[in-house]
Amino acid sequence: MTITTIIKPVFLLAALLVSGTAWAYSPEEAELVCKKPKFTDFNLSPYNAADNNEVPAGAEFIIKISAYVDPTTIKLTAKGEPLPFKVESNISFHKITAKLPATLNGQYARINVSAKAVLGCDDQTGWLVKVAK
Main-chain phi, psi angles of 9, to 5 degrees: -65, -35
pTM: 0.73
Higher-confidence position of 61 and 30 = 61
State the pLDDT at residue 3: 61
Strand ranges across the sheet with 81-82: 81-82, 75-78, 108-116, 122-130
Domain count, the chain: 1
Residue 21 lies in a domain: no
Q: Which helix (H) or strand (E) holds 55?
A: none
Residue 124 lies in a domain: yes
Residue 114 lies in a domain: yes
Give 78-133 pLDDT, tens digit per residue.
999 999 999 999 999 999 999 999 899 999 999 999 999 988 899 999 999 999 98
State the pLDDT at residue 120: 83
Domain that holds residue 120: 34-130
Supply the CATH number for residue 113's domain.
2.60.40.10
Residue 53 lies in a domain: yes
Residue 70 lies in a domain: yes
The band of 72, judged by pLDDT with boundaries at 50, 70 and 90, is very high
Say if residue 1's pLDDT is above 70: no
Rounded CA gap, 78 and 128, in Å? 9
Give 2-57 pLDDT, tens digit per residue.
665 666 665 555 665 555 544 555 565 555 678 899 999 999 999 998 988 999 99
State the pLDDT at residue 44: 95
Coil, strand, or helix at residue 44? Answer: coil
Residue 28 lies in a domain: no
Phi-psi group of 52: left, alpha or beta (phi > 0 → left; psi -120 to 50 → alpha; rest → beta)? left
Residue 123 lies in a domain: yes
Residue 96 lies in a domain: yes
